[in-house]
Amino acid sequence: MPASAKPTTPAQYLAALSEPRRSELKALDAAIRKAVPKLKPYLAYNGSMIGYGAYHYKYASGREGDCPIIAISSRAQYISLYVLGHRNGQSLADSAKAKLGKVSVGKACIRFKHLTDLDLPVALGLMRESSVLLTNGSTDFAL
């Protein structure tokens, strides 16, 4: 794919990354697909991330749209993992912050430099919970 061409599939998105980031995101992508196989992967937000599953939201203001239930993105300094959902009034990511490893957490976003910094089994558990919550009609989520 030419450098100027934007990826149109998750595979192209991953292939366009430099190593070692490519290998890390490929491994994370494979783990997500195995953990939540019903959430189909696609490119989200103009190709800036890989989304898994879609959640339709509607605010009281009338604004509505679709967003990924789970998403991953390669940023300049870190990897971002987005996991929608709340438990007991707290975002799923925030609720597990102390168990996720060497990460920073902001609402639904979990940021880490390398995949080895993330406690993957804990993160996959959050993804499974998010998938159940948001595919069963929950309206309690975090953006």
pTM, to two decimals: 0.90
Sign of CA dihedral 13, 43, 48, 96: negative
Neighbours of 56 (CB within 10 A): 9
> Cα separation of 106 and 78, whole Å?
14
pLDDT digits (tens, 9 = 90+) for 61-76: 999 888 999 999 999 9
Domains of the chain (ranges; CATH) run 10-57+66-135 (3.90.1150.200)
Neighbours of 5 (CB within 10 A): 9
pLDDT digits (tens, 9 = 90+) for 111-128: 999 999 999 999 999 999
Tell how strand 104-106 and strand 109-112 pair up. antiparallel
Q: What share of the chain is helix, strand, coil (3-state, %, to 5)?
A: 35, 30, 35
pLDDT at residue 1 above 60?
Answer: no
In order of 53, 63, 136, the CA distances from 59 in angstroms are: 20, 5, 18
**Strand, helix or coil for residue 79:** strand
